[in-house]
């Protein structure tokens, strides 16, 4: 096997990491030809792979599902990636199983150039099961200074404050026992995250990068939405990472990100494979 120094994997033809939007899966029609796949947004990543021939790549998609329909679409995308000369290991990572304080599920594809002779193994979540990944621990330990960057509190209306007073931790606006005058009057809407309070003893539910009032993630005891810094804690960003832009732009950036600590686990697994360092691994849950 060819030898690689770890630093070389991040420069030149070493490694490439990219994400492609959720709608890249939805626009892929199984009756279309591969050419249609190359015309979608994720083709930018494929173009970089074709041009630079990295030793390995990581491709992340947040909207993919493993049901029959999206499974066929995923198969088409993997077919294109494999045609470029890469061995692939797609896996649905459930980051809360890796000690991340958030139930965040993402399909991540690791591709290694076939001529390299290195096999990637999905890191096992077992070494992380002892960690306290409750949202209370993530947000409160250590306490966030009031003047921390991106820690501006949003003022809640009296209606929202009153509504939240009837919602217990883990409940939302549709499962809580709320008097009629404070109930939502959106016909047919049953979104489970609407005005949902966190359960402090469990990982957070999935942060969203978009959405109007009621989808901002709500504190378990205080009648308010989380600040962006608290959301960043749930995504395991370090406190000295400063986001720029409007408050809503920052919320979008945080909500669309991959948890930093989760990404590190995957990147380190890739590097260990190249360095020949053993680690605990598990079988991929997506076979394609």
Residue 5 clears pLDDT 50, i.e. is over it: no
Question: Using omega within 30 degrees of 0 as the cis cutoff, is the peptide bond preceding 142 cis?
Answer: yes
- How high is the pLDDT of residue 60? 92
Per-residue pLDDT for 201 more than 80?
yes
pTM: 0.87
Is residue 99 situated within a structural domain? yes
User: What CATH number should be reported for the domain holding residue 101?
Assistant: 3.40.50.150
Taking the C-alpha atoms of residue 119 and residue 178, their distance in angstroms, rounded to an integer, is: 54
**Residue range of the domain that includes 44:** 6-130+259-282
Which class for 53: exposed (0-12), middle (13-18), buried (19 or more C-beta within 10 A)? Answer: middle
| Domains in the chain, number | 1
| Contacts of residue 248, Cβ cutoff 8 Å, sequence gap at least 6 | none
Which comes out higher in pLDDT, residue 229 or 30?
229
Task: Tell me whether residue 61 is in a domain.
Answer: yes
Within-domain flag for 210: no
For residue 197, being part of any structural domain is answered with no
Computed over every residue of the chain, the mean pLDDT equals 87
Residue 239 inside a domain? The answer is no
Residue 76, in any domain of the structure: yes
Confidence tier at 40 by pLDDT (50, 70, 90): low
Q: What was the pLDDT predicted at 212?
A: 80
Residue 273 lies in a domain: yes
> Is residue 25 scored above 80 in pLDDT?
no
Determine the average pLDDT of the residues in 176-203.
88
Residue 212 lies in a domain: no
Q: What percentage of the chain carries pLDDT values higher than 90?
A: 70
Catalytic site positions: 22
| Mean per-residue pLDDT, 239-252 | 96
- Give pLDDT, residue 277: 96
Q: Mean of the pLDDT values across residues 115-130?
A: 96
């Amino acid at each position: 096997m060819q030898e690689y120094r770890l630093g070389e994997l991040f420069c030149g033809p070493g490694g490439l990491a990219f994400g492609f939007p959720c709608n890249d899966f939805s626009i892929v029609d199984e009756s279309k030809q591969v050419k249609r796949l190359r015309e979608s947004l994720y083709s930018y990543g494929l173009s970089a792979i074709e041009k630079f021939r990295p030793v390995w790549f990581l491709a992340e998609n947040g909207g993919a599902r493993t049901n029959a329909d999206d499974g066929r679409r995923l198969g088409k995308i993997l077919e294109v990636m494999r045609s470029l000369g890469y061995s692939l290991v797609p896996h649905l990572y459930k980051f809360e199983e890796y000690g991340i304080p958030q139930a965040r599920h993402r399909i991540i594809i690791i591709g290694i150039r076939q001529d390299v002779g290195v096999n990637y193994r999905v890191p096992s979540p077992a070494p992380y099961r002892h960690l306290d990944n409750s949202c209370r621990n993530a947000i409160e330990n250590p306490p966030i200074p009031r003047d921390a960057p991106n820690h501006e509190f949003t003022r809640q209306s009296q209606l929202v404050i009153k509504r939240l007073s009837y919602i217990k931790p883990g409940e939302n606006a549709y499962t809580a026992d709320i008097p009629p005058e404070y109930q939502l009057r959106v016909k047919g809407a049953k979104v489970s995250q609407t005005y949902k309070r966190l359960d402090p003893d469990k990982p957070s539910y999935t942060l969203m990068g978009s959405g109007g009032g009621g989808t901002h993630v709500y504190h378990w005891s205080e009648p308010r939405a989380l600040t962006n810094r608290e959301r960043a804690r749930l995504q395991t960003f370090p406190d000295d990472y400063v986001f720029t832009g409007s408050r809503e732009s920052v919320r979008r950036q945080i909500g669309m990100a991959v948890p930093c600590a989760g990404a590190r686990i995957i990147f380190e697994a890739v590097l260990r494979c190249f360095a020949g360092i053993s680690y605990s691994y598990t079988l991929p849950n997506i076979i394609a």
